Amino acid sequence: MNRFLLTIFALTFSCFLYSQMLSEQQVQKQADDFTITTTDGITRNLYNTLDSGKTVFVDLFYTSCYYCQLYAPIIEEIYQNTGAGQGDIEFWGISNNLFDTNNVIDEYKLEYNVTNPCAGPWGGGIQAFTILVNGQNFTGFPSYCVICPDRTLYFNPIWPPTIGGYNPYFESCDTLTGINDHTDDLKSGILSVYPNPASTELSIEIILKNPGPVEIEFYNLLGHKVSSASYNISSTMRNIAIPVEHLPNGLYLIRMMQNSLFIDTKKVRISR
């Protein structure tokens, strides 16, 4: 009986030590930049998002991973509790598994009720995964990261994930503002274009190091400018709604210009 109790104690203590070991991975070097395109067609850049004052929670997963499936409801509840991406915290799922095509990821999201945006290998998932785990004590899937606006990376700060376990890290990030701390590093550009494909209206989220007038131009695949409009941007972040019902179906390049200088470009498909 005593031997049995000692065995139980040893196993419990070992689990405690392992949990503590994972928790000690918390504060890491600053996160390196990466860009992903999620299955909804939206391109997301880490530094641009952080510099807008947002925190990014990253779920490193793959669709056939048992524990990824097991903890998906917990991550979904945290996502909903923190504003479902509409507040100061964005959630990105990232898979580096070559079998996780966009369709496979979307089926996984539907089956396990995952509503946060996710990217796979065809959306830069392999490169993003490599950048995130570089120099970390990566022990397997799933792994979770909290990245603050000042680019501090908390890698697997708690294990297993719990509903309120990440709140101290979110609260720590909430006291930081990426724009003020990294003004010199802020890159102007187009953060996202959605919906893509679009039918009648397109939303373009842009970020500007130096707010002011910008020109948004549409080019067809023959290189002809088919539409353009000027917008006076008074803040670092801005979402522009652009009517596109006059454009025929097809693929277009969106060009963002400021002071006659090229800033960024994105692709969009018009389909009705």
- Go through the domains of the chain in sequence order and give each one's CATH number: 26-183 (3.40.30.10), 188-270 (2.60.40.10)
Preceding omega of 121 cis (within 30 degrees of 0): no
Phi, psi of 94 (to 5 degrees): -135, 125
- pLDDT by 10-residue block (mean), the chain, 272 residues: 47 41 51 93 90 92 96 93 86 97 95 94 96 92 94 91 90 63 62 86 86 91 88 82 92 89 86 88
For position 28, what pLDDT does the model report? 52
For position 185, what pLDDT does the model report? 53
For position 207, what pLDDT does the model report? 83
Please give the Cα distance from 212 to 198 (Å, whole number). Answer: 27
pTM value is 0.60
For position 222, what pLDDT does the model report? 80
For position 97, what pLDDT does the model report? 97
For position 19, what pLDDT does the model report? 41
Please give the Cα distance from 35 to 48 (Å, whole number). Answer: 10
